Amino acid sequence: MPCLVTVGGFFGDEGKGKIIAYLAKKDNPTIAVRGGVGPNAGHTFTFNGKEHKVRMLPSAILNPSTRLLIGAGVLVNPKVLLSEISQFNTEDRTYVDSQCGIIEQQHIDRDKSEDHLKGKVGTTGTGTGPANSDRAFRTLKMAKEIPELSLYIEDVSNSVNYALDARENVLVEGTQGTYLSLFHGGYPFVTSKDVTASAICSDVGIGPKKVDEVLAVFKAYVTRVGGGPLQNELDEQEAKKRGWLEFGSVTGRQRRAAPFDMELAKKAVRINSASQLAVTKLDVVFPETAGMRDYGKLPDMARKFIEEIEGETGVRVTLIGTGPELDDVIDRR
Ligand code: IMP
Ligand code: MG
């Protein structure tokens, strides 16, 4: 499976980070390349009991032989990136496209002071919207103009395309989720660009014929932070009772929660042309499944849930998350 693209199937926070971290260990890609918006994303994964978080680097960091690339479509906050590079010791294997857009303090200030953004849309306040608007206005700085990044600059699309031509394994990491897409989500309660599979490919500079597999990641229930509609939203008390109350990894905001939404899932499969699905946090909905790694041992209720998703979407659920640890995965590939 040389080129696998991962995307979020709902509103972000589906657990892509953990699935990607697992795939990076298991499939040993030579390159992991990040698409998506920028440091508004937060990916969390746990390895040997230790929790890790990234906002800029690809979530494949724990595999020391994987090169970590950031595609031209991604906005870079140099401060956040440089601190992650030093935290994870990835100086010698991090590469940033020369044309990544740069987030400056003024973008963060605007994101936090515009009532329309922070108040109505409920942005993460990380400056991504104002930076992308400056980019469309052609006034945004590019990564190649930032001296602190000079060590890491390269042509990422060339690197990715050469690796694919050599039949190497490449993991393309999408961020956010289908329904936060500027084009396909519920405008105006969306992020500042498209984040579906085609857009992620464009972010890193590969054409649609280079992709072998698209993995859409769903959580076993739906969460959403910020404004906008959420079908069958639970009240806080019910969400808490079910153990579905989560807090954002970038903003610490409480996430709204709702049951798994099959209609959203079916549409996400179409928009992304998903060829495989992952379902994360099965153990949160079915506690008996915690830590299970064998599909055959799942209780009937949990298996029925997975089979209903497969029946309705027509796509196989190849990966199932059953706990926070990297290896708490049922891998049916
Ligand atoms: P922005 O991307 O910070 O402009 O925020 C726009 C909308 O997308 C808000 O509703 C955010 O909560 C949401 N959003 C952006 N990135 C993420 C993410 O990584 N996970 C979940 N929600 C996100
Ligand atoms: Mg997140």
CB count, 10 Å around CB of 307? Answer: 11
Model confidence pTM above 0.95: yes
* CA gap 311, 91 in Å, rounded: 45
Task: Spell out the domain ranges in the chain.
Answer: 3-331
CB count, 10 Å around CB of 273? Answer: 16
As assigned by CATH, the class of the 3-331 domain is alpha beta
* CA gap 17, 32 in Å, rounded: 12
Ligand 1, atom 11, lies closest to the CA of 123
| pLDDT reported for residue 249 | 86
Nearest to 46 by CA among 19, 81, 67: 19
Is 180 a pocket residue for ligand 1 (Cβ < 6 Å)?
yes
* CA gap 82, 93 in Å, rounded: 13
Q: What is the mean pLDDT of residues 275-297?
A: 98
* For the CA of 12, the nearest ligand: 1
* CA gap 56, 90 in Å, rounded: 12
**124 CA distance to ligand 2 middle (Å):** 11
Q: Residues 229-274: pLDDT tens digits?
A: 999 999 999 999 999 999 998 888 999 999 999 999 999 999 999 9
